[in-house]
Chain A
Amino acid sequence: MKHKEISLIAENDTIIALAGNPNTGKSTLFNMLTGLRQHTGNWPGKTVFQAKGSFIYKGKKYVLVDLPGTYSLLASSVEEKIARDFICFGRPDATVVVLDATCLERNLNLALQVMEISERIIVCINLIDEARRKHLDVDTGKLSETLGMPVVATAARNGEGLAELLKVISEVVAGNCRPKPKTVRYSPEIEKAVAKLKPKIKNLLGDQVNPRWIALRLLEGDTSIEPYIKKIMKNKVRKAKLREVLA
């Protein structure tokens, strides 16, 4: 089901993924941006498979993919696997991580994990109106600086901040704004192991995936990425053979 949907996206479309915890108003944001009317219920897990829609901004078409809401990307559930696989191997042009402003600590966990996979990320602090109602003040400037990412505060329900979000998305896609994610530093022993594996992975797989992220997954014994890795390897081997034949 899922792969069929991905393949429906044309080669040259600009793809934006929407990731986020459950109940962050992700689907509401999706509806506001695409004009589609996906039903948004208030219970965890209702976007079971991704919805897809499109919008036009300054004459350019963007395809928006609403990923299932997850707490993490460690692939311990179907939703997590779908979301992770799309961000990592579906290679969207940008990923918008939607965070609940009223529950930032929990939500940042996911943002930090997405940042490990990809660089082209926009952090969207949604439900900022709820946060204000609860007297929570979020310092988006400081957050942006700490994460090394563009951060936009929105209240998707009433359209607040959406213009800014669209502008930032287009800038990231066009390369005018290059996020420099400040990723999580692990214990020295893990970092040492990652440093050791990274060049080997880069050598094997090329630039298609983030070698640091692959190294971390392999170190923690996550085998669910195996088919993808093999596929990338296969393509590389095939290309190498082709080059041999041509030479």
Chain B
Amino acid sequence: MNTESLWKDLLKEVDITLPVKQDKIRDNIVKSVYQTAEKIAAETVTLTTEKGIDRERKIDDVLTSRLWGFPIMFGLLLIVFWITIAGANYPSAFLAEKLFWIESRLTEIFIELNAPTWVHGFLVQGVYRVMSWVISVMLPPMAIFFPLFTLLEDAGYLPRVAFNLDRFFKKAGAHGKQALTMSMGFGCNAAGVIACRIIESPRERLIAVLTNVFVPCNGRFPTLIGLSAVFIGGSAALFVKSALATVAVACLVVFGVAVTLIVSRFLSSTLAKGVPSSFTLELPPFRKPQIGQVIVRSMLDRTLFVLTRAVIVAAPAGGIIWIMANISVGGTSALSFCAAWLDPFARHLGLDGFILMAFILGLPANEIVFPILIMGYLQGTALMELESLEALRHLLVDQHGWTWLTALCTMLFSLCHWPCGTTLLTIRREQHSWFWMFMAAVIPTAAGVVLCAIVTYFVRSLGLV
């Protein structure tokens, strides 16, 4: 007897035994279980007083109300970003100063040791410099943003966001839980892609996976924050400046959500066609977050994890960039040569060759896009103590002809381009498909190219720049 025939026999046996249709039996079973549960609960649980149950309901009445639901959501977004941006200023400057101080000590040591110039250049000006950039730019905002976000998460606010936004997602042919996976994407798109497992229907899960990159992850926030700080607010006081930068970043995030919905809509009528599946979402009771736990956990699990990953990727990338900046191809460095080659195309997108190249070389991790750009502009030779925004502004505007359009297009392209290498590999693993991994890179890039080109031509034709 083989198993196949044994199984078939068993099924036949079941068929004969069936008293009624199988659907009926299932209904019956579920009903009986629930009724038994109901009976047992009624016998064992007693409510001693009616007070106190409505408190949670009242919180929800406000958080998801017609009038306040959306303003509160946007308000919380603003508050979280503002605390992050304003709070990160000083520690960032402090870290940069200390790390560059160490760099000059390292340089002294290398001179002392009579090390060849290229060893010093590769290790200190390449590897170390990019690493310290990444740490000083990323660590403070992450150390602030992740705990704040974890507080909201632990309190139970995220499902309310999904509840408020589901209508939009439904219209886009997507699942409301996509709002949860997008929230995870704020931390890291790879984490957001993994979180897509909570969406049961494969079609809607695919849409959520392919569009997660439109949420700016932590690796891209510093770029967005830095550029808004340089280009918005001008010479206003620091407080006003960070407030304006906050609004700019928050608007960009809202714009990213809009792009997500549009692209989801497009996907659900083309590549991921099908009927919407059923939607169920539990709104768990609010719990008081354990603040101490939240801070420790979000620092260790998230901040250090993401930072370590960034540093591991940034270190070799820094070395490679240094080599590219210092190898000559017919008189110009390899870096300039590639940038010059990309330049004509990049101009159509409101960018320049160096910016586009920085995005391409930043494939391993988005964190290093901006450091690469700076290194490209400086050719790794000039001094690069860009601890102040003013110095950054000088480099971009005065030396490399940036306008507000360049900044806007860089931010838009940062929001809409291929996901980082880790995210792509995660998509490949989650979807078991090279094709969808490829599409996950093509779709946002196409969106970014089209968007930047339209904005550039529109602005230029109106003569605004």
Which residues of A pack against B, CB within 8 Å?
22-23, 37, 39-46, 48-49, 72, 74, 77-78, 102, 104-106, 108-109, 111-113, 130, 133-140, 142-143, 146-147, 157, 184-187, 189-190, 192-193, 196-197, 200-201, 204, 216, 218-221, 226, 229-230, 233-234, 237
Chain B contact residues: helix, strand, loop or mixed: helix
- Is B44 touching A138 in the complex (CB atoms < 8 A)? yes
CB distance from A39 to the nearest CB of B (A): 5
B200 / chain A contacts, CB cutoff of 8 Å? 77-78
Interface positions of B from 35 to 53, Cβ below 8 Å from A: 36-38, 40-49, 51-53
A23 / chain B contacts, CB cutoff of 8 Å? 282, 284-285
- Is A137 touching B153 in the complex (CB atoms < 8 A)? no
Q: Give the CA-CA distance A89 to B161 in the complex, in Å.
A: 37
- Is B282 touching A157 in the complex (CB atoms < 8 A)? no
Q: Give the CA-CA distance A200 to B36 in the complex, in Å.
A: 28
- What is the 8 Å Cβ interface bit string for chain B, positions 1-37, against chain A (1 contact, 0 not)? 1111011001101100111101101101110111011
CB distance from A173 to the nearest CB of B (A): 25
Count how many pairs of residues, one from A and one from B, have CB atoms less than 8 Å apart in the complex: 169
- Is A186 touching B28 in the complex (CB atoms < 8 A)? yes
Q: A220-B22, A221-B26 are in contact. List 4 more A-B contacts (CB 8 A).
A: A42-B289, A109-B37, A112-B37, A229-B10
Knowing A39-B301, A135-B49, A190-B25 are in contact, say whether A233-B40 is a contact too (CB < 8 A): no
Query: Of the 9-residue stretches B190-198, B363-371, B414-422, which lies at the interface with chain A?
Result: B190-198
Q: List 10 A-B contacts (CB under 8 A).
A: A39-B302, A41-B153, A45-B198, A78-B200, A105-B41, A108-B40, A139-B44, A139-B46, A189-B20, A237-B2
- Is B44 touching A142 in the complex (CB atoms < 8 A)? yes
Which residues of B pack against A, CB within 8 Å?
1-4, 6-7, 10-11, 13-14, 17-20, 22-23, 25-26, 28-30, 32-34, 36-38, 40-49, 51-53, 150, 153-156, 158-159, 177, 180, 194-195, 197-198, 200, 281-282, 284-287, 289-290, 297, 300-302
A220 / chain B contacts, CB cutoff of 8 Å? 22, 25-26, 29
Q: Give the CA-CA distance A186 to B34 in the complex, in Å.
A: 11
Knowing A37-B301, A105-B41, A108-B40 are in contact, say whether A237-B3 is a contact too (CB < 8 A): yes
Q: Give the CA-CA distance A48 to B198 in the complex, in Å.
A: 7
- Is A42 touching B287 in the complex (CB atoms < 8 A)? yes
B32 / chain A contacts, CB cutoff of 8 Å? 184-187
B36 / chain A contacts, CB cutoff of 8 Å? 108, 112, 184-185
A49 / chain B contacts, CB cutoff of 8 Å? 197
Partner of A134, one of B19, B28, B53: B53
Knowing A105-B37, A190-B25, A230-B3 are in contact, say whether A43-B180 is a contact too (CB < 8 A): yes
- Is A78 touching B51 in the complex (CB atoms < 8 A)? no
Partner of A190, one of B14, B29, B180, B284: B29
Nearest residue, chain B, Cβ from A183: B36
Partner of B47, one of A78, A135, A196, A200: A135
- Is B40 touching A147 in the complex (CB atoms < 8 A)? yes
Q: Give the CA-CA distance A147 to B33 in the complex, in Å.
A: 13
Q: Give the CA-CA distance A138 to B11 in the complex, in Å.
A: 43
Q: Give the CA-CA distance A102 to B4 in the complex, in Å.
A: 47
Partner of B46, one of A74, A137, A189: A137
B287 / chain A contacts, CB cutoff of 8 Å? 42
Knowing A139-B45, A187-B32 are in contact, say whether A48-B197 is a contact too (CB < 8 A): yes
- Is B19 touching A189 in the complex (CB atoms < 8 A)? yes
- Is A136 touching B44 in the complex (CB atoms < 8 A)? no
Partner of A104, one of B7, B19, B44: B44
